[in-house]
Homo-oligomer: A and B are copies of this chain.
């Protein structure tokens, strides 16, 4: 079985995606456990078709792995050190799983060389509403799950660094815009926004100042009060202004 038709892709170029989700004061990343011995984990990754734009490829890969399109997706950094290759990792995986590879994968020498050549990776991060995501495995994945940003498992190659750099970029971007609200459901309370910021920046904000600063950005629309039963204490709901 061929894993993929490598000749249809641009060689030496990959896309790796750090997909951020958020739930109950936890920032999470979508990570797949590779279907092999050795507890090796990987970011959702893919290649670029010869006839496909790079952003287009990133959106396709995200859609394939999360089921959703119209995702907030941003390139943040390239990873292109000269010695960047997964030859050692892949060879060790193959050695540990000879039977599986011979019967199921049947990687030709050419395919192995292609896959383990030097790759320059275009790093993207995505901000998604976890409720809408259906994590989707490929034939290489044993599982695909959300991990707390503080409990990242043993990532292959430089994928751990990719997550760290993505988080840095996310924090930097937050100073000038509120893309981070893509992590929330369609409507949310101001307290939920504050929880989210506190989780990402790992610090606490004074409630009044925080509200004022967010409202001044003038991108939120106030809706009806959230129904809680105790109507006069109910918080307002907000959503992105259309």
Interface residues of A (CB under 8 A from B): 10-13, 48, 50-56, 75, 77-78, 80-82, 118, 120, 122, 172, 175-176
Contact = CB atoms under 8 A, between A and B. Distances in A.
Nearest to A50: B118
Copies, count = 2
A82 B48 CA distance: 10
Contacts of A120: 10, 13, 48, 54
Nearest to A119: B10
Contacts of A55: 80
A82 B13 contact: no
A235 B69 CA distance: 57
A52 B122 CA distance: 17
29 contacts: A10-B12, A10-B118, A10-B120, A11-B11, A11-B12, A12-B12, A12-B13, A13-B13, A13-B120, A48-B80, A48-B120, A51-B82, A52-B82, A53-B80, A53-B81, A53-B82, A54-B78, A54-B80, A54-B81, A54-B120, A55-B80, A56-B82, A75-B77, A75-B78, A78-B78, A78-B122, A80-B122, A172-B176, A175-B176
